[in-house]
Amino acid sequence: MQFHDKIRVEKAKKRAVKQIETRKRVDLFRHLPQYEHGTRIPDLGSKFFLLDPVHPAVYKVGLRYLSGDISDGNARCIAMLQAFQESIKDYSPPEKTLARDLTAKINCYVSFFIECKPLSISMGNAIKFLKTRIAKLPLTMSESEAKATLLSDIDRFINEKIILADRLIVRHALTKIRDGDVLLTYGSSSSVEMILLHAHELGKQFRVLIVDSRPKLEGKLLLRRLLGKGLSCAYTLLNAVSFIMHEVTRVFLGASSILSNGTVYSRVGTACIAMVAHEFHVPVLVCCEAYKFHERVQLASICSNELGNPDTISKVPGRKEINYLDDWASNENLQLLNLIYDATPSDYVIMIITNYGMIGFRSPFEFTSWVG
């Protein structure tokens, strides 16, 4: 959706979820939606009983996205698919054929999700898969059979493409970890966490360096989980990455998606890590399930991104003395920019580890044809 086009924005405003567009938009990102976050949750809560088309399971998941409860790509995808499963179970088709009506309903749910939080690429691919499965249902199938097929399809998708895929990734990646390694990771990626825990269970001797960044500070959660399992970790902020890079032997990064030209689309700051690692000749390995691959191409981080809540930048949790920007909204010259994603050029990445195998950076586009 093109948010710089006023007419379309007006049309979209008639939707269920009322958004309040903030007037303080960064010029460079006018084509992306920028909303004020805090007001939506109570608003949505009050509207629950008015929103007939949205199934309660879908509504619940939408709220969780809105509040930032789930931010990991895999988790969002699984939550969405399970919500769809619930809604399919309770679904009964009217006179129209099941396929068309169900597709319309799914579209409706998807636009609800989009308004809560822009879709991640993993979710987009899963929705495409579901719609293809619905379209392929034979017309002669009875309603209960069709529903059962769809439910088992979704289960299979979750199992094969996410859970088993993760196990394969871990198995491939374990071959890349040797004793005495110093592994650097950024933020909190579910695949990388699994790799580290498995390697530790196997008894490999290595150290972990967790690099974290504002405003989400997801690395702290990973740190806590790894400490709980007894790994010895070091923790630092993104600024100090060139300070610590000289002792790192491998960098493991997660990704939200791998694009067709080899660009890694992931949490903002990943590009900085990959660039500094490249400078210090440290191999960068990106772990990404194959279902997250996308045929889009992207050069810079500006064209397609997500803007987060700018208030989280002005405040620093735990440091009350950092309150210089408490009234930032009143000043028209000041804008706060909270990017969620960035695009890492393929030159900085040595290898991509997927469930189909390990790919040197030149050929990810060959693998997008394997997806779906």
Partner 1 sequence: MPGVEELVNDFFAKLENCKVEGSHATARSTAELLRSVISQQRVPSNIQAEALIEAVKVVGEKLTAANPVELAVGNVVRRVLHIIREEDLLLVTSDLGGLNLSVGSDDKDAAEMDNNHVAAAAASRNLLHRPSLHTLLGNMHNSACQNSFDADKNLRSRKLKHNIIEAVNELIEEIDTCREQIAEQAVEHIHQNEVILTLGRSRTVLEFLTAAKQKKRSFRVFVAEGAPRYQGHVLAKELVQRGVQSTLVTDSAVFAMISQVNMVIVGAHAVMANGGVIAPVGLRMVALAARNYAVPFVVVAGIHKLCPLYPHNPEILLNDMRSPSELAEFGEFSNGMDYGIGSGAPLIHVINPAFDYVPPELVSLFITDIGGHGPSYMYRLIADYYSTDDLV
* Contact set with partner 1 (CB under 8 A): 26, 28, 212-215, 220, 223-224, 227, 230-244, 246, 267-269, 271-272, 275-276, 279, 300-302, 305, 313-314, 316, 318-319, 322, 324-325, 328, 331, 333-339, 342-343
Min separation Cβ 277 and partner 1, Å: 11
> What separation in angstroms does the CA of 187 have from each of 86, 160, 208, 219, 320?
32, 25, 12, 4, 24
Please give the torsion angle defined by the CA atoms of residues 316, 319, 320 and 323, in that order, rounded to the nearest 10 degrees: -50
Q: Of the two residues 233 and 358, which places its CB atom closer to partner 1 in the complex?
A: 233
> Residue 288 CB: number of other CB atoms within 10 A?
28
190 in Cβ contact with 221 (< 8 Å): no
Min separation Cβ 323 and partner 1, Å: 9
Min separation Cβ 315 and partner 1, Å: 10
Q: Of the two residues 14 and 319, which places its CB atom closer to partner 1 in the complex?
A: 319
Min separation Cβ 234 and partner 1, Å: 4
Min separation Cβ 161 and partner 1, Å: 29
Q: Of the two residues 339 and 358, which places its CB atom closer to partner 1 in the complex?
A: 339
Q: Of the two residues 194 and 339, which places its CB atom closer to partner 1 in the complex?
A: 339
Which residue in this structure is represented by tokens 């660009």?
A: 263
Q: Of the two residues 223 and 287, which places its CB atom closer to partner 1 in the complex?
A: 223
Q: What are 258's strand-pairing partners?
A: 264, 293
State the sign of the Cα–Cα–Cα–Cα dihedral 368, 189, 305, 128. positive
How far apart, in whole angstroms, are the C-alpha atoms of residue 330 and residue 281? 46
Query: What DSSP assignment string belongs to 101-169?
Result: HHHHHHHHHHHHHHHHSPPPHHHHHHHHHHHHHHHTS-TTS-HHHHHHHHHHHHHHHIIIIIIIHHHHH
Min separation Cβ 59 and partner 1, Å: 32
Q: Of the two residues 41 and 299, which places its CB atom closer to partner 1 in the complex?
A: 299
Pairing of strands 233-237, 206-212: parallel
